[in-house]
Amino acid sequence: MFNSELMKKLSDCFGPSGREKLIREMIMDEIKGLADEITIDPLGNLIARKKGNGKKILFSAHMDQIGLIVTHVDEKGFLRFANVGGLNAKELLGLRMVFDNGLEGVICQEELKDKEKLKISKLFLDVASTDKEFIKKNFRTGDMCVFKTEYYETDDCVICKAADDRIGCYILIEALKKHPPTENDVYYVFSVQEEVGCRGAKTAGYIIDPDLAIAIDVTATGDTPDGIKMDVKLGGGAAIKLKDNSIITHPVVKDLLTELAEENKIKYQYEILEFGGTDAGPIHTSKEGVPSGVISIPTRNLHTSGEIFNKFDVEECIKLVIATAEKE
């Protein structure tokens, strides 16, 4: 049964890269009492551990989302900004954004002759106020904002912002709730700063130094009109990543995940992504190396204010995470 309430809460919670305080607190609250040990490392990764004497397994889903950082506030209420994570100017135009204090703005552009040349530096955020005092008091260089969009769902799919990677967080929370009896020493990591270069995972991987690492993150799909050429589709089940720019999945891990999926009748599909990377990138080259892989959630319309995923795929991912946690 899909826990819509939890997913909505996760999607709505503020947490762009480097500003994960609120989302971290929300997840901590959600997993209270479930883990044997909960720590926060120096970069802010939330690490929930289920102790055991066996194999050390690290699961990682990132808490942070893409957003904008204010670089300049002028007294008329126009804010200049830079992107935090992969965003491009054309997709931003006209969107509503919200700050951690609940204040909002809308993205506007300078009058441009050549619309093709639209760059983020030509956009600004209008925060809807002509009151200089209000602006001075409420907006500072360094503030961040994120998309403002409503969570929406149908029977089988969800549209929301920050599905990347709150859906991964959702999967880890649900898996932690159903953590199987096992001798394995399992670390559920809710990482920071993935969108700006998988930075949190680098330190978490170093600290934990696991025997096996699995990142849980979204991946693109090839099932949209004139979309990218790849086999992954919504409803096709958990995607087992074979390659992206950050990793070639360790053959042992590929076989492990495939066997677990088949043994447990979990629907799965293989994924090869020609771009991008996940937390598994820095983790698998940590220290002497860590056999690593990725369980991906097929997601359409990535890095936009309305990302779309399928609930069935999510359920299959949870099952695969649990099966992996249990495997000796």
Partner 1 sequence: MFLKELTELSGVSGCEYEVRNYIKSKLTDMGCEFYVDKLGNIIAHNKGRKNKTIMLAAHMDEVGLIVTNIDSDGFIKFEAVGGIDQRVLNSKPVLVGEKKIPGVIGSKAIHLMSSDEKEKALPIDKMYIDIGTSSKSETEKLVNIGDYVSFKSSYAEFGDNLIKAKALDDRTGCSIILELLSQKLDADFYGVFTVMEEVGLRGAETAAYQLEPDLGLVLEGTVCADMPEVEEHDKSTLIGKGAALSLMDNTTVYDIDLVRSIAKIAEDNNIMYQYRKSAAGGNDAGVIHKTKNGAKAAAISVPCRYIHSPVSVASKKDIESVLLLTKLVILENQKGEKHV
Partner 2 sequence: MLKEFLFEVCSNHFVSGFEHINGDIIKRYFQPYTDSFEKDKLGSYIFKSSGSSDRKIMLAAHIDEIGLMITKILEGGFLSFISVGGINPASLVAQEVTIYGKDTIFGVIGIKPPHITSEEERKKPHKMKELFIDTGYSKEELEKLVTIGDIATVNREPLSLQGSVISAKAFDDRACVTVMLETAKELKKISHKSNVYFTATAQEETGIRGAKTSSYKIAPDIGIVLDVGFGKTPDMPSDSPELGKGPIVAYGGRLNSKLTKKFVDVCKKYNYPLQYEAVPAITGTDTEALQISRDGIPCILLSIPLRYMHTSVETIDLYDVEITGKAIARFINELDNSDLEEILCF
CA distances from 69 to 124, 188, 248 (A): 11, 29, 33
Q: Which does 251 bind (CB under 5 to 8 A by kind): partner 1, partner 2, none?
A: partner 2
User: Which residues are within 8 A (CB) of 138 and not within 5 positions of it... i.e. 6 or more apart?
Assistant: 101, 103, 127
Expressed in percent and rounded to 5, the helix, strand and coil fractions of the chain are 30, 30, 40
Show the site string, 111-130: x = touches partner 1 by CB under 8 A, - = not. Answer: ----------x---------
Residue 36, amino acid: D
Q: How far apart are CA 314 and CA 3, in angstroms?
A: 11
- Rounded to 5 degrees, what are φ and ψ at 18? 90, -5
Q: Tell me the C-alpha distance between 299 and 309, whole Å.
A: 5
Cβ 287 vs Cβ 257: under 8 Å: no
Active-site pick, 194, 271, 307, 315: 194
Of the candidate residues 2, 3, 6, 41, the single one contacting partner 1 (CB under 8 A): 41
Position among 28, 43, 272, 302 found at the interface with partner 2 (CB under 8 A): 272
**Integer angstrom CA distances of residue 34 from 71, 172, 173, 225, 317:** 40, 12, 9, 42, 20
CB-wise, 65 or 324, nearer to partner 2? 324
Q: Does 71 bind partner 2 (CB under 8 A)?
A: no
Taking the least distance from each CB to partner 1, the nearer of 192 and 294 is 192
Q: What is the contact mask toward partner 2 in residues 289 to 328, using x (rule: CB under 8 A)?
A: xxx-------------------------------------
Residue 206 near which of partner 2, partner 1, none (CB within 5-8 Å, type-dependent): partner 1
Using rule CB under 8 A, residue 109 touches partner 1: no
Please identify, using beta-carbon distances, which residue of 177 and 243 lies nearer to partner 2.
243
- Mark residues 132-151: x for contact with partner 1 by CB under 8 A, - for none: --------xxx---------
N- to C-terminal Cα distance for the chain?
Answer: 28
Binding positions for partner 2, rule: CB under 8 A: 229-231, 242-243, 245-246, 248-251, 254, 270, 272, 274, 284-285, 287-291
Show which residues are catalytic: 194
